[in-house]
Amino acid sequence: MEKKHFWTSFVLFAILFLERFAYTNLLIQLPIYIAQKGIENTLGWGQEVKGWIFFFWALVQNLTPIFFGAISDRISPQRAITLSLICTTIGYLGLIFQNGIVWFIIFIIFIGFGSGWFKPSLQSLFSTLTSRVVWAFYLLVGNIAFLSAIILSKFLKDIGWEFVFITSLIISAINFLLSWFSLYPKEKILDKTFSIKIALNEFKEIFRLLNDRKLVLILAFTTCFAMIYMQFYESLPNFIVDWVDTSKLVEFFKLPDSLTMNTSLGKQVSYEIFYILNPLLILFFVLPLQKFTLHKTIVNSIAIALILVTLGFSICGFTKYGEFLLIGFVVYTFGEMLFNMKILELIGKIAPKEKKSTYFGLLNVSYTIGLTTGALAGGYLYKQIAEKYSLALKYLGKVYTNDPIGEIAMKIHDIDPTSFLWNLYKPYLYWLPFIIIGIIGILNIVVFKKYYFNKIVNNGGKNK
């Protein structure tokens, strides 16, 4: 029995690692590849197109678990994992050969659907493991994959953008084979086990659960977190490239050229390096943090987490200096780490045993709202309020020019054009609505704890 339990855990963590690796390898490069102007061999489609692509991706990826989590419970999470990996593999394959915006969106939707179905199915299996630190290890393995993918993705991108897509395809295909041979049930699905009528009943049950005020509050503060989370990974990379001067960090750490990038500000720390810091901190601190909070109230931990997320995000968005950006990343990362760990623990506690996938799927209502809203904001609002290229054109009164920053530099002579545009247009105000949303989320947690938490989580211990 011990051997079987170990093998099951090993396979689940291996599948988690491979899926997160393939996904992150693609995700970390897409904002720059799709939208950034002035970098060689990017598509340069602009912020609006990037916004729509991320909108459809987020919409499909986060709507899918809401409904297909219930289907996973019916056909078995093991079977659902294998089927979901077929979809993501098709998506990665399609991106290699895509030709134009429409096909790009279609294959992103394949990836979104597959990843969306994969998540609650795998989380359902993890929730059956008996270890009290399972979710800490879940985050640990996910972030080892995240860190590894960012490091590899940086070098793959430098060789050629197509190698980013090919690598994600190969890893996803390997993961499909692993799930097929290790998890996929050999028995057929019987008609009495699953049918369209049963699926419709499951969907009705989902809508019934969404009328529960307690669950709505959980989804509300998770939505606030998701909106900040989306901006941190989708818009902040562009903001770093546009505005943040990290040249002092390059000099202080004596970084080699392979870890730097050239922007209008000169030689800067490559933005991927900051995103390596995020999973690196999680690797070192997720288990100590889990141990520290093991006997703390779950909802208090979630409140502290969202405070740290909002504070760290604010520091990142309101500075143009690399030193403060570094501090902001550290603060945000501790908040994200704690929130992701404790929200899964909370859902695991309140979900009935036979509805685990359904409840974990419902959590994605929050991510559907938060990530899709964040994606469109990152497309349209960022261009109008914070994109340096667009603000430079606005100042020059032009619709297009090859080097608007250079033209501004010729006009204002002694003033750095980036600092000039920063002071004139205040692009950091773009982040203000999301900071307010973070504060609203914290207030939601306070209401949830006061009126509902003690009633729905009561195990006789400290977590109540």
Q: What is the CATH number of the domain that holds 253?
A: 1.20.1250.20
461-438-62-382 Cα dihedral, nearest 10 degrees = -160
Confidence of residue 191 (pLDDT cuts 50, 70, 90): very low
**Owning domain of residue 316:** 2-386+426-456
Whether 415 maps to a domain, the answer reads no
Residue 334, phi-psi category: left (phi > 0), alpha (psi -120 to 50), beta (remainder): alpha
User: What are the structure tokens assigned to 278, written together?
Assistant: 């995020």
Q: How many domains in the chain?
A: 1
**Whole-angstrom Cα distance, residue 272 to residue 33?**
13
Whether 438 maps to a domain, the answer reads yes
**What are 95-135's pLDDT values in tens digits?**
988 878 999 999 999 999 999 999 888 988 887 776 667 87
220 in Cβ contact with 444 (< 8 Å): yes
61 in Cβ contact with 113 (< 8 Å): yes
Nearest CA among 340, 376, 351 for reference residue 222:
340
Q: Is the predicted pLDDT of residue 187 greater than 70, yes or no?
A: no
Q: Is the predicted pLDDT of residue 454 greater than 60, yes or no?
A: yes
pLDDT on residue 55: 86
Whether 412 maps to a domain, the answer reads no
Nearest CA among 150, 146, 109 for reference residue 19:
146
Whether 211 maps to a domain, the answer reads yes
Nearest CA among 195, 135, 151 for reference residue 24:
151
pLDDT on residue 324: 97
**Whole-angstrom Cα distance, residue 313 to residue 226?**
12
**Whole-angstrom Cα distance, residue 133 to residue 125?**
15
Amino acid identity of residue 75, one-letter, is I
What is the separation, in whole angstroms, between the first and last Cα of the chain?
Answer: 33
User: What are the structure tokens assigned to 374, written together?
Assistant: 């964040």
**Whole-angstrom Cα distance, residue 142 to residue 145?**
5
Mention every residue, 6+ apart, whose C-beta is less than 8 A from residue 199.
Answer: 70, 71, 74
Q: Is the predicted pLDDT of residue 192 greater than 70, yes or no?
A: no
**Whole-angstrom Cα distance, residue 423 to residue 427?**
8
233 in Cβ contact with 223 (< 8 Å): no
User: What are the structure tokens assigned to 35, written together?
Assistant: 């939208």
Mean confidence (pLDDT) of the chain: 85
Q: Is the dihedral of CA 12, 15, 17, 23 positive or negative?
A: negative
pLDDT on residue 461: 37
Residue whose token pair is 């970098």 = 39
DSSP 8-state secondary structure symbol assigned to residue 29: T
Residue 104: strand pairing partners: none
**Whole-angstrom Cα distance, residue 276 to residue 448?**
34
Whether 416 maps to a domain, the answer reads no
Mention every residue, 6+ apart, whose C-beta is less than 8 A from residue 449.
Answer: 299, 300, 303
Whether 398 maps to a domain, the answer reads no
Whether 368 maps to a domain, the answer reads yes
Mention every residue, 6+ apart, whose C-beta is less than 8 A from residue 230.
Answer: 54, 58, 370, 371, 373, 374, 375, 378
Confidence of residue 243 (pLDDT cuts 50, 70, 90): very high
pTM of the model: 0.76
